[in-house]
Amino acid sequence: AQSVTQLGSHVSVSEGALVLLRCNYSSSVPPYLFWYVQYPNQGLQLLLKYTTGATLVKGINGFEAEFKKSETSFHLTKPSAHMSDAAEYFCAVSVTGGGNKLTFGTGTQLKVEL
């Protein structure tokens, strides 16, 4: 079975600073990896996904993530935080033949300060 661990339930950065949200996965077969963002009182929306191919994936709003198989990681980064990035971020994993199951991490709340 696959699983995801998000390190840090709360992360605080200054506006303009680097954003780094950590995600490690566990899977016995090649994974599909996703980052979703949840703004207050809204559902989750897809930021980016890794399926196959290029390991550096670019998403919306300037976010990107790098799939590192050797480290079983899929950390989310953004070079310069903006106030509008304040939200909760979820990493998720699925696998081919995994019973159509998407497994979510517990989420990281990002706070952006002036």
Partner 1 sequence: EAQVTQNPRYLITVTGKKLTVTCSQNMNHEYMSWYRQDPGLGLRQIYYSMNVEVTDKGDVPEGYKVSRKEKRNFPLILESPSPNQTSLYFCASSYRGLDNSPLHFGNGTRLTVT
Enumerate binding residues for partner 1 (CB under 8 A). Answer: 9, 32, 34, 36, 41-46, 49, 51, 90, 94-96, 98, 100-102, 104-107
- Closest to partner 1 by CB, 69 vs 101, is 101
Q: Which is nearer to partner 1, 74 or 90 (CB)?
A: 90
Closer CB to partner 1, 72 or 109, in the complex: 109
Record the tokens describing residue 64, joined without a space. 């990107």
Per DSSP bridges, beta strands 10-14 and 19-26 are unpaired
Minimum distance of partner 1 from residue 103's CB (angstroms): 8
